[in-house]
Amino acid sequence: MPAYTLKERLDIARVIAEQAGQMIRQARQEQSFGRHYKAGDELVTDADVAVDRFISDQLASHFPGETRLSEELSPDQAFSESAPQLWVVDPIDGTVNFAQGLRHVAVSIGWMEDGVAKMGVVHAPFLEETFTAAEGAGAFCNDQPIRPSGANELARSLVATGFPYQREAREALMPRLAAVLANCRDIRRNGAAALDICDVACGRLDAYYESVSPWDFVAGWVIAREAGASVGHLYDVPTDVPEDLYSQHLLVSTPAVHSAMVRLLRDADSAA
């Protein structure tokens, strides 16, 4: 197997993500996808599975032997010592948006080495934006450098979040929502975690918090970190999971509001 540089990995992953985006646009145009439900209420379309299959085949042919964690085809492929190189893929982030005809939809492809997220591509086919980053090389949107906002107080901060598909799990998140609405500029629920994180990276949003799955955040995490945003968790990360793969209690924000956001959200949790 050739030893790829990070830049080469990024270039290949970007082409794959943009081709996947083309499949997504076509599926919407033709309305050619079936709708199903997994785990009760969670929508999955035929397009999610077809795009995952396409990305997976492409990665397998370019990077044989490297492990893939992807939402539809291999969601249980957790990080292990035997997977020093790991691709983390969400074929369609924003499935409900996709099925409803909304535009906040993304393909998310991240790559980790020895537990550290090093490369990420988030492509939004309907917004015609591709966010990219590789460790140490900065972050870009459509090849233009990006950086987070200059927000430095909660009252002027626009905050995004999301909610789990399981309705019974939403109640516990209400105190955080109330705290944000009471203390920040406002809230957004745009429906694609990868794009929420990229929107913090490029300064359209000031903070984002949520508990998600690895494929929702790994690529965006690299992009936000490389852009100069603060990426972290509201609570300590268990010692048996790499920080860059631990998807619970994420907080991504512009640096000057990070510690105030941590306090706000933790206080909301403990008052619940």
The reply to whether 216 sits near Ca ion by the rule CB under 5 A is: yes
Sign of the torsion formed by the C-alpha atoms of 126, 60, 240 and 242: negative
Residue 71 annotated in ligand binding: yes
Give how many residues touch ligand IPD by CB under 6 A.
14
Residue 206 annotated in ligand binding: no
Separation of alpha carbons 93 and 215, rounded Å: 9
* Angle, helix 174-183 to helix 258-271, in steps of 10 degrees: 130
Minimum CB separation of residue 106 from Ca ion in Å reads: 8
Torsion of CA 230, 231, 236, 240, to 10 degrees: -140
Which of these ranges, 6-14, 26-34, 81-89, 185-193, lies near ligand IPD under the rule CB under 6 A?
185-193
Q: Which of 69, 184, 192, 205 binds ligand IPD (CB under 6 A)?
A: 192
Q: Which of 66, 93, 199, 206 binds ligand IPD (CB under 6 A)?
A: 93
The reply to whether 94 sits near ligand IPD by the rule CB under 6 A is: yes
Residue 24 annotated in ligand binding: no
Distance in angstroms between the alpha carbons of the first and the last residue of the chain: 52
The reply to whether 210 sits near Ca ion by the rule CB under 5 A is: no
Separation of alpha carbons 144 and 2, rounded Å: 29
SS3 for 108?
strand
Which of these ranges, 6-14, 85-93, 150-158, 248-256, lies near ligand IPD under the rule CB under 6 A?
85-93
Which of these ranges, 85-93, 120-128, 131-139, 237-245, lies near Ca ion under the rule CB under 5 A?
85-93
Cβ within 8 Å of residue 160, ≥6 positions away: 187, 188, 189, 190, 196, 199, 200, 205, 207, 208
Kind and range of the H or E element at 188? Answer: strand 186-188
* Angle, helix 214-227 to helix 193-201, in steps of 10 degrees: 10
Separation of alpha carbons 106 and 121, rounded Å: 10
Judge whether 235 and 249 are in contact, CB under 8 Å. Answer: yes
Give how many residues touch Ca ion by CB under 5 A.
5
Q: What's at 96, amino acid-wise?
A: V
The reply to whether 52 sits near Ca ion by the rule CB under 5 A is: no
Q: What's at 21, amino acid-wise?
A: G
Minimum CB separation of residue 217 from Ca ion in Å reads: 9
**Residue 162 binding target from ligand IPD, Ca ion, none, CB below 5 to 8 Å by type:** ligand IPD
**Residue 66 binding target from ligand IPD, Ca ion, none, CB below 5 to 8 Å by type:** none
Residue 269 annotated in ligand binding: no
The reply to whether 71 sits near Ca ion by the rule CB under 5 A is: yes
Taking the least distance from each CB to ligand IPD, the nearer of 4 and 163 is: 163
Q: Which of 90, 206, 226, 244 binds ligand IPD (CB under 6 A)?
A: 90
Q: Which of 66, 93, 196, 226 binds Ca ion (CB under 5 A)?
A: 93
- Which residues of this protein are in contact with ligand IPD, per CB under 6 A? 90, 92-95, 162-164, 191-193, 210, 212, 216
- Binding residues, by number, are 71, 90, 92-93, 216
- Binding residues for Mg(2+), by number, are 71, 90, 92-93, 216
